[in-house]
Amino acid sequence: MGRWLERRRHPVRDVLYPIVTGPVIAGLKAFLTGRDESYASSVAVSRVLPPAAERTTRMVTVRYDGGPQVGVQERRQLGFNVWAESTVNGELLARLLMAGVQSLPDGDPITFVDEVNGPFEVVDTQSDLLVVSGVTLAHYFFTARVSARGTDL
């Protein structure tokens, strides 16, 4: 009975929701390209950390943490890990990327971004520290909620 009432108030639709991790990564790479800030150069942006031999002193990973679907909109929570060669550059890079995420909505597929939170310094345990070319990287984290429009099937 409860499901029937729910269907009457909010009819269930068959919707295919797009993948947003790829467009977010591509958008952040484009956002960083040609920037004048020294801490924004040579940043590797991907879904997972590159293999150890390919790591740089500035890296970003984008993680999809799920989210609710309302009609044709899906509100996705994304987590962003940011590493840099110093705490100052790590926080500056994270803050710049937060601005970059907020500039992503273009309707294809991202329709809006809200609830950007952070950045927060991550104090890694000794076994989790990332060391690249002899430099121990500072680690920051922030989140954002990204909405994407699905397609009716």
In sequence order, the β-bridge partners of residue 81 are 61, 141
My answer on whether omega of the bond before 109 falls inside 30° of 0, hence cis, is yes
pLDDT digits (tens, 9 = 90+) for 29-70: 999 999 999 999 999 999 999 999 999 999 999 999 999 988
Residue type, 43: V
Using pLDDT thresholds of 50, 70 and 90, give the confidence band for residue 76. Answer: very high
More confidently predicted of 151 and 13: 151
Q: CA-CA distances (angstroms) from residue 18 to 22, 30, 111, 151?
A: 10, 20, 11, 8
Q: CA-CA distances (angstroms) from residue 19 to 25, 53, 97, 108?
A: 11, 29, 20, 11
